[in-house]
Amino acid sequence: MNYHTPVLLKESIDGLSIKPDGRYVDLTYGGGGHAREILKKLTNGKLIAFDQDQDAFPNRIDDDRLLLLNHNFRYLKNFLLYYGELPVDGILADLGVSSYQIDNPERGFSTRNGKYLDMRMNKEKELTAQDIVNQYPEDRLSRIFSTYGEIKNANVLTKVIAKERNSRLIATIDHFKKAIIKCAPKEKENKYLAQVFQALRIEVNQELASLKEMLSQTIQVLKPGGRIVVISYHSLEDRLVKNFFRSGNFEGIIEKDFFGKAMVDLRVISKKPTIPSENEIVNNPRARSAKMRIAEKI
């Protein structure tokens, strides 16, 4: 299966500062690109990997040091505890949708070649983008587009969708696009559609809630000196990661003790995120929006 070329591969592996006998977690296994590089640096260490998409499992690397789990990374601590793999030396999360998921029309992630409004990363889950578009109340739908897609005319968009779904079920991506394209600013149609699809995908998969749950557990599962590396692809994710690394909460508010000392559990390795080089973007256009942040447990 054609999973994407790993983004910021060297930078992310270097950022983990891997110890040969360490215990590491790859939270987004996908095609195994990052995992393969981690395993190259381990001798008698261990790699625990998560992926909620069953389609990732044919890509499993045949290596006794790898434990691959078919679960959402929001259950990070529970499974590390269950398998006796606590604490760990490093955690890596590449939050991007894989090329396989985007390019497979049956999955419904792409604005260009999709068939049905699906967008489930875990195909065993019931809620699809079709359910959201056809069944959510207008006010809830508007909030999703405004918050997760940062759509400025979310109310207008929602009214157009409501009018269309009242006449017939919106089932396919082509039908959905034709219904809403008039809401898009001139010459910015593709960007607008991408924002709409992003909002639906986040809601279907509860991506931001899962990210918050995972980040909140990292301090508990990392060893002192252990590192967490996160690669995000849009501002909503990056803001959560940035604030959490800086302050330990998602508002970015640093709490201080009685003596005025900052009460934080992580040390930010670099103040500015690492972004792909121009050469990497040319070779892998889907890397263009990536931002990588690294923190170390104090």
pLDDT of residue 27: 98
Which tokens belong to 209?
Answer: 């809630």
pLDDT > 70? residue 172 = yes
In this prediction, residue 107 carries a pLDDT of 77
Q: Which CATH superfamily is domain 9-99+207-297 in?
A: Vaccinia Virus protein VP39 (3.40.50.150)
pLDDT digits 0-9 by tens, 179-196:
999 999 999 999 999 999
> In degrees rounded to 5, what are phi and psi of residue 80?
-65, -40
The CATH number assigned to the domain with range 103-205 reads 1.10.150.170
What's this model's pTM, rounded to 2 decimal places? 0.93
Quickly state the pLDDT bin for 98 (edges 50, 70, 90). Answer: low
User: CA 213, CA 216: separation in Å to the nearest integer?
Assistant: 5
In order, the DSSP letters of 249-275 are SSS-PPPB-TTS-B--SEEES-SSPB-
Domain definitions of the chain by residue range = 9-99+207-297, 103-205
53 φ, ψ to 5°? -90, 115
Looking at residue 3, its pLDDT comes to: 55
Listed in sequence order, the residues at least 6 apart from 101 whose beta carbon sits closer than 8 Å to its beta carbon are 53, 55, 107, 109, 121
Report whether 22 contacts 36 (CB < 8 A): no
Peptide bond into 285 cis (omega under 30): no
CA distance 190 to 198: 12
- Other C-beta atoms lying within 10 Å of the C-beta of residue 250: 17
Summarised one tens digit per residue, pLDDT across range 275-291 is 999 999 999 988 999 99
With cut-offs at 50, 70 and 90, classify the pLDDT of residue 218. very high
| Whether the predicted pLDDT of 5 surpasses 90 | no
pLDDT at 108 over 70: no
Sign of CA dihedral 183, 188, 189, 190: negative
